[in-house]
Chain A
Amino acid sequence: QKEVEQDPGPLSVPEGAIVSLNCTYSNSAFQYFMWYRQYSRKGPELLMYTYSSGNKEDGRFTAQVDKSSKYISLFIRDSQPSDSATYLCAMSANTDKLIFGTGTRLQVFP
């Protein structure tokens, strides 16, 4: 079993939809949780960074962490075609080692 599981998609939604992206993990020592967005042929770009459990909102993006269920989510409101990309979750304990999910490919069509 992988330490971090993420559905690869693709997830295809119409413009304006609310998108929910999720990851589950097995290591209860993880405390720092990140979401990255990666466009084709580009490096990952940090979208959201949270520590421990709770919610964090930034514009159209909301990150949720439920440590009791070992489950994290990224919600995108009013999705746009420019949101079409691969979304990677990543997490770490008190170390520099980041563990990544395999990424979910999102397509937002007009």
Chain B
Amino acid sequence: DGGITQSPKYLFRKEGQNVTLSCEQNLNHDAMYWYRQDPGQGLRLIYYSQIVNDFQKGDIAEGYSVSREKKESFPLTVTSAQKNPTAFYLCASNFGTGGNQPQHFGDGTRLSIL
């Protein structure tokens, strides 16, 4: 079955620790996205990538980093510089640019602070 797989489902971070969230898609999509979802705030864009080896900052990129070494994979690292990391993180993908391709989402990773 084609889809977007996020892992782990739940993740706990200690003070001063970096953690990496995985996102893999087998939909042959070109573009991939990371969002953060907080209660009452809707989804906010962290980073996105339209092609391999290239990515752009979204609205709330501070304290996060990404890489795009393969078309299928777009991991997100939450660094110790992100002071309020507790949230639901969602990965999405679509076929490309221009706004005319709807984004499809994985089932998210819930990150909490220990």
Q: Could you list which residues of chain A lie within 8 angstroms of chain B, going by C-beta atoms?
A: 4, 6, 8, 31-32, 34, 36, 41-46, 49, 51, 88, 90, 92-98, 100-103
Contacts and interface: CB of A to CB of B under 8 A. Distances in A.
Contacts of B110: 41
Contacts of B90: 43-44
A96 B108 contact: no
Contacts of A90: 43
Contact of B43 (A8, A46, A51, A88): A88
B104 A46 contact: yes
Contacts, number: 62
User: Chain B contact residues (Cβ within 8 angstroms of A): what range?
Assistant: 20 to 34
B2 interface: no
B98 interface: yes
Given A51-B100, A102-B41, A96 B48 contact: yes
Interface string B97-114: 111101111111010000
Pick the most buried of B43, B90, B94, B103: most chain A CB atoms within 10 A of its CB: B43
A46 B102 contact: yes
Interface string B58-94: 1000000000000000000000000000000010001
A31 B90 CA distance: 24
Contacts of B4: 43
Nearest to B50: A96
Contacts of B16: none
